[in-house]
Amino acid sequence: MHSFLLMMVIPALAGLLGYLIGRLRNEFSFIGAILTLYYAVRLFFTSRHEVVIYKLMDVSGIPVAFRLDALSGFILLFVAIFGVLVVLFSFRYMKNWKGTRGYYLYLLLALAGANGVLLASNLVTLLFFWGSLLVIVYGLLFVGRPGAEKAARKALVVVGLSDFAMLLGIAILVVKNGWIDLAPRAPMALHDPMMILAFVLVAVGALAKAGSMPLHSWIPEASKTSPATVMAFIPASLDKLLGIYLLTRLSVYVFNIASNMVLRNVFMAVGAITVLGAVMMALVQKRVMRLLSFHAVSQVGYMVLGIGTGTPIGIAGGLFHMLNHSIYKTGLFLSAGSVEYWTKTDEIDKLGGLARQMPLTFFSFLVCAMAIAGVPPLSGFFSKWMVYQGIIDVAREGNRLFPIFLVAAMLGSVLTLASFLKLLHAMFLGGRPKALAKVREGSFTMWLPTMVLALLCIAFGIFAYQVPLRGLIYPSLPFGVEPLGIWQPVLTTLLLLVALGIGALIYLFGTARRPVMGRTFVGGEKIADDEESRVPGTAFYSSVKRLPIVDDLLRFGEAGALDLYNWVRGILNGVGVVFRQGIDQALEFLHDYLGKLIQATGKGLSYLHTGNLPLYVAWVFLGAIVFYLVLLLG
């Protein structure tokens, strides 16, 4: 069997076997994920130097074909890596959850579906796997706490809506252009309104998968009920990789987004709004998972912003940010999952002071949090930097709106840092609630995956040029990317280390070790070291809630007024009322009325039948007269 097909068959088969032989589901899942990784690595190395095309068959004129190139090659590799890590993490983590048989099945099917999406060589083949993935995710979201069906429902409606939009877009491309290849020889300029429509419709599908606003609402909803592993695998990594993969394909390979400035502005605006809107929502969250899930939305903004710039550096930055994001966000969700597993809660108020007890988890969470906040020299900083460069490059092309996007991107970065400071304080630093005294670092299946991801964040930051950019990102784009001006990650890291070293020397030999300690004046009150005087993390940034305008928006946001799902449901239900009460009932009435009319006519005619013979004779006589009159006069 062709290794492309194996990439789909192996995980699917492993999942099915694990489902049928429930006792061995961990083993089957792990073997399936590892084998997938093995083939992914092989394909990755193949993809470095050649493009492989494999045509399976023609279905009434539409080819079912697969292709491997540099872009799909590296994403394939990372999907497989995340698959292995998440499966490994799940062994211990999922012990507390119900329905794990279905869980592993869906997880591996999702892996298979994602491989299908990445290997598809044309839009129709892609759509098949893309939609299948929605069905699988719908099933996967049912694994969870009571109330999980709400998230599943939202995901099906919102992502389903975008899938249908995509279907329409692809149909337009097939019919008007007869051209659905995902990597044609030359990308098409976006001037024809029909093609712009098709592009936007397919891009809606990509954005919904990535979780960009306003198509994001199922992700925070799912975070309430779904296991951390599901969050880490689907919205945090897989969906980002696939959504941004498709967006890159569309705007670089199939079409040339650089050819239409209006469209670029629209995309950048969507990106900027997503960055800011979601990060604001994140600031005021009270649960770890929900907070992280808003960041999973917010970060998509950077990727969309980067690709929307249409400049080589911006697109490369968006793509790099996608990769970085899926690494650190998976790390964050899994670390938070570790904490949740041992503390049995993810409420920020009930956590605190775990750094000592879970040092490895703390380390990986810290690194990933700093990476997402964009602290140099970690990976997140570098890709955001590239996105900023892209925005500045757009300005050179005469775009006047660029300051808005730049400010939004930078402000989003600051707020991200702020919200992660809150989270770090609330989970690992600060006062420790009594209930958590016995929490310990867990088994290696839980800390190893998070550690791997944290180390990747560091490596991709320090060696950004040498490893990810030169090895993964640049080869997968059809144009050359100018090297960035002054930013030298290795040098910067060295300088930072030197600075830290000097700081340490000053700390050791200077006066800082002997500070003057005094009592804090608290107005004569006594502060006891107990539960009530602990400072939890939820109090951070509550002032954000009191800002004018922002407070209203946040309140609406929390109430679901900005949720596309509610909008769609509301509007279509309204249409339903009009149709049902207006048209349907009217037709029903017409039908009944017609029936009554016929009955009434029959009844009226029945009065003529009295059974009286002379009357009938009279009728006949009258009829004859009329008949003859007509004959004579006609």
Whole-angstrom CA distances from 129 to 112, 119, 133, 135, 507 are: 9, 10, 6, 10, 57
Of 571 and 622, which has the nearer Cβ to other proteins? 571
Of 359 and 570, which has the nearer Cβ to other proteins? 570
In angstroms, give the least distance from the CB of 159 to other proteins.
10
Of 7 and 332, which has the nearer Cβ to other proteins? 7
Site for other proteins, rule CB under 8 A: 57, 59-60, 64, 124, 127-132, 134-135, 138-139, 142, 146-147, 149, 152-153, 156-157, 160-161, 163-165, 167-168, 171-172, 174-176, 568-569, 572-573, 575-581, 583-584, 587-588, 591, 595
Of 116 and 220, which has the nearer Cβ to other proteins? 116
CB atoms within 10 A of CB 266: 14
Radius of gyration of the chain (CA): 31
Distance of CA 55 to the CA centre of its chain: 30
Specify the residue for token string 């892609």: 126
Question: Residue 251: exposed, middle, or buried by beta-carbon count in 10 A (0-12, 13-18, 19+)?
Answer: buried
How far is 304 from 440, CA to CA, in rounded Å?
40
Of 151 and 284, which has the nearer Cβ to other proteins? 151
3-state helix, strand, coil in the chain (%, to 5): 75, 5, 20
In angstroms, give the least distance from the CB of 58 to other proteins.
8
In angstroms, give the least distance from the CB of 198 to other proteins.
10
Strand (E) or helix (H) holding 64: strand 62-68
- Report residue 579 as tokens: 């149709």
Of 56 and 392, which has the nearer Cβ to other proteins? 56
Of 154 and 290, which has the nearer Cβ to other proteins? 154
How far is 240 from 277, CA to CA, in rounded Å?
18
Of 174 and 196, which has the nearer Cβ to other proteins? 174
In angstroms, give the least distance from the CB of 342 to other proteins.
28
The answer to whether the beta carbons of residues 60 and 42 sit under 8 Å apart is: no
Of 510 and 576, which has the nearer Cβ to other proteins? 576
In angstroms, give the least distance from the CB of 87 to other proteins.
23
How far is 488 from 220, CA to CA, in rounded Å?
37
Please spell the DSSP secondary structure of 362-422, one letter per residue: HHHHHHHHHHHHT-TTSHHHHHHHHHHHHHHHHHHTT-TTHHHHHHHHHHHHHHHHHHHHH
How far is 622 from 217, CA to CA, in rounded Å?
79
In angstroms, give the least distance from the CB of 376 to other proteins.
44
CB atoms within 10 A of CB 600: 10
Contacts of 160 (CB under 8 A, 6+ apart): 134
The answer to whether the beta carbons of residues 414 and 393 sit under 8 Å apart is: no
In angstroms, give the least distance from the CB of 320 to other proteins.
31
In angstroms, give the least distance from the CB of 20 to other proteins.
15
Of 173 and 427, which has the nearer Cβ to other proteins? 173
Specify the residue for token string 């084998």: 35
In angstroms, give the least distance from the CB of 172 to other proteins.
5
In angstroms, give the least distance from the CB of 300 to other proteins.
23
- Report residue 438 as tokens: 């016995």
